[in-house]
Structure 1
Amino acid sequence: MKPQREFLAERPLAEHCAELLRQGPGPDELLPLIKRMGERYARRLSGALAPLLGGEAPMVSCTTPRETTLDSLHQSIASLAANSLMAVGDAKTPMLVSIEAEPMLRIVDRAFGGKGEAPAPLPKAFPMAAELMLSRMETMLADNLSAAVTATAGGARSGQTPELSAIRRDGNLAMLAPFADNTPLAMWTMEVDDGGVLPWLITFAMPFASLARLFGYSDAGVVTMAQSAPRAPADPSSAPFGDVPVSVSAILVDMRISFPTIATLAPGVVLPVAVARQVPLRVGDSTIAYGTVGTMDDRVAVQINQAFADNRSAQ
């Protein structure tokens, strides 16, 4: 049967939404997440590194994240470094962590009772005695990174941040071969100033697919919202609240002195004071608790007698 006229499309062809066809978040979305996460990570690393550096908490800062390649990493990472390949959930989503050899050897020397000195010149490979400390550093860096990422991503991602686990390590980056040569990488460094001549660096690099998964994006690039559930009250010991330092003041003495007395103050003058039985503890202008002054372990201490779950009840 032959039609009498040509068939014409009555409607325009469908055009798919670009957001539905996208393969995943790009560098413009992911690199700013690293910057925000790096600020939290720096605060956590400062405290975590203190026991390894003789008890003094170093100054830690995050550099601006950028795109790079494996060839550029070979140029910036020395022939000997503590290079660890980690998995973001599984081995198909790798992440590289590299610590400069000289500070790593100083940490190893201090762990074995030394003064925290590195040999000069540096050896061509890490000694066997360093393996335990390298493993400890991997665990510490991974745990704190996971916590910083979770605090940055917030509760909008479904589930939890993928677990970070070590796959293998090698002092030579070429032997480790972490990524394909043509893989676009996201890179950032944590700069650690422990009072030495120069700060030292911890370098992080991963493919953008690994970075997307680290921040909770699905393989298709869509952020999956968490299922509706009753929200529990915020836990002050959890991130991000647990990372915020708060200054608390105890008002031991609140006295009134005449201006002539103040004008004649001099060494040797004795001012009689009476410590209140109930000492207020304040955060800013809010009283959060009351306590009694005493001693503990040869130090002045305050035993809490009354605490306010809601500061408004103390007003």
Structure 2
Amino acid sequence: MASAPPKKARHAAELLGAGPSIAEMVRPLTQLGETLARTLPGSLARISGGEPPVVRIGIPAEGTLDALIAEENGLTAHALMGLGPKRLPLLASFEAAPVLRLLDRTFGGRGLLPDPLPTRFPLSAELLLSRMEEAIAAALSAGMGGDDIHRVAPLRRDTVLAQLAPFGPGEPLLRIVLEVEEAGVEAWSLALAFPLGTLASALVAPRRQRRVPVRARRPGPGEEPFASLPIEVTAVLVDMTLPFSRLSALRPGDVLPVTVARAVPLRVDGRTIAAGTVGEVEDRVAVQVQNAF
């Protein structure tokens, strides 16, 4: 008697932590798709050399990697991309027909398909795919915030999705299709698939942490705006007392005997801040500070 197949593990939300559900991510992904619809046309026009196309977005659809593998039909380029420093995975898929039409137009043709279709992409198509991936990555990075945490970079590419193994086979994901319409050219599409974990990191704002109020620090006298403030300092070499009669009788040539005190006070706005002794430095009178108050 054959044994029953093992059941897939199911983990309670209490163990994994409360995170957004697939349903809660539909709206943020739709908004990201609307951003791509505005930013991608310019990049695609630079690749094709024509006018900017019209990009329309479809409704995000829930799925899994197993379901995508089951839907594979014909030659398709699947590009694994990484989000942020942790390289959180997301997937961009390009069918062969639009890539080969665009390749023909790039070399001056009318966008015709080879007959029969090749079973693998030629080198020229691989180079075109690299440019398309870079355009998608740049548009996604800008649409998610444009910082290092939300920077998207192409990682590797394969035509067999099962070999690429971009994420777990049964991991919940959302897939959105972008329809590209150009004048005189058959419309084509590209698809983006995001696992739930990548979506949550990319499109859900982190909870605001409570900020502890920080008391403003007052700048010290050695810091601006006080450091360069000019202050007038007066060194009082002689402080003497004269009677008014002697003072009123002073004439040019009179000599007043004075004695320089040992401690010369240094004053700012009439207030003594230090005291020192008189000396000489390089033929100039100087005061060496002995005490500061």
Q: Same fold (TM over 0.5)?
A: yes
Mapping 1:263-274, distance limit 5 Å: none
Tell which deviates more after alignment, 75-84 or 57-66: 75-84
Q: Deviations over 1:283-309 (max 9, x none)?
A: xxxxxxxxxxxxxxxxxxxxxxxxxxx
1:57: how far off? Answer: 1.8
Residue 96 of structure 2: aligned partner: 101
Looking at structure 1, the residues matched to 184 and 63 of structure 2 have their Cα atoms a distance apart, in angstroms, of 29
Q: What residue identity is the alignment partner of 1:165?
A: A
User: Is 1:79 the equivalent of 2:67?
Assistant: no
CA contact (8 A) 1:79 1:171 kept: no
* Structure 2 residue corresponding to 1:41, chosen from 19, 36, 40: 36
Alpha-carbon displacement from aligned partner over 1:102-149 (angstroms, at most 9, x marks no partner): 111122222333333221221110011222211111111010111122
In the alignment, is residue 115 of structure 1 matched against residue 110 of structure 2?
yes
Aligned to 1:97, the other structure's residue is in SS state strand
Which deviations, in whole Å up to 9, do the C-alpha atoms of 1:256-314 show, x marking residues without a partner?
Answer: xxxxxxxxxxxxxxxxxxxxxxxxxxxxxxxxxxxxxxxxxxxxxxxxxxxxxxxxxxx
The answer to whether structure 1 residue 142 and structure 2 residue 137 are counterparts is yes
Residue 100 (structure 1) shift: 1.5
Q: CA deviation at 1:97?
A: 0.3
Take 1:160 and 1:92, find their aligned partners in 2: how far apart are those partners?
11
Q: 1:131 aligns with which of 123, 126, 135?
A: 126
Measure how far apart 1:174 and its partner are: 2.8
How far 1:63 sits from its partner (Å)? 0.6
Contact between 1:82 and 1:171, CA under 8 Å: does it hold in 2? yes
The residue that corresponds to 2:194 in the other structure is 206
Tell whether the 8 Å contact from 1:60 to 1:190 is kept in structure 2 after alignment.
Answer: yes
Task: In structure 1, give the amino acid aligned to 2:195.
Answer: P
Tell me, in whole angstroms, the C-alpha distance in 2 between the residues paired with 1:172 and 1:74. Answer: 9
2:21 aligned residue: 26
C-alpha displacement of 1:49: 1.2
In 1, the alpha carbon distance for the partners of 2:210 and 2:81 equals 30
1:210-269 Cα shifts (integer Å, max 9, x gaps): 11112255xxxxx144898xxxxxxxxxxxxxxxxxxxxxxxxxxxxxxxxxxxxxxxxx
| Mapped partners of 1:191, 1:27: distance in 2 | 23
Q: Give, in whole Å, the separation in 2 of the partners of 1:30 and 1:68.
A: 13
Q: Deviations along 1:43-89, whole A, 9 cap, x unmatched?
A: 11122212333412211111111210122212444331121001112
**Contact 2:22-2:173 at 8 Å conserved across structures:** no
Shift of 1:179: 2.2
- Determine the C-alpha separation between the residues in 2 that align with 1:67 and 1:78: 19
Partner Cα separation in structure 1 for residue 209 and residue 110 of structure 2: 50
Distance across 1 between alignment mates of 2:158 and 2:174: 21
Q: Aligned to 1:65, which of 43, 60, 78?
A: 60
Kept in 1, the 8 Å contact 2:41–2:53? The answer is yes
TM-score when scaled to structure 2? 0.61
Q: Does 1:180 align with 2:168?
A: yes
What pairs with 1:144-183 in structure 2 (closer than 5 Å)? 144-150=139-145, 161-183=149-171
Q: How far, CA to CA, are the matches of 1:160 and 1:89 in structure 2?
A: 6
Give the counterpart of 1:52 among 47, 51, 73: 47
Distance in 2 separating the partners of 1:23 and 1:33: 18
The unaligned stretches of length 5 or more in structure 2 are 1-12, 212-293
Q: CA deviation at 1:194?
A: 1.8
Counterpart of 1:126, as a letter, is F
Q: Counterpart of 2:5?
A: none
The 3 A distance-change label for structure 1 pair 227 and 38 is farther
- 3-state DSSP of counterpart to 2:145: helix
Aligned-pair identity in percent equals: 41
- Equivalent position of 1:190 in the other structure: 178
2 CA distance for matches of 1:87 and 1:209?
12
Return closer, same or farther for 1:23/1:227 CA change in 2, 3 Å cut-off: closer
Residues 47 and 132 in structure 2, CA contact (< 8 A), matched pair in contact too: no
Mapped partners of 1:226, 1:99: distance in 2: 41
CA distance in 2, matches of 1:99, 1:56: 21
Q: Which runs of no fewer than 5 residues in structure 1 stay unpaired?
A: 1-17, 152-158, 218-222, 229-315
Could you say which structure has the larger radius of gyration? 2
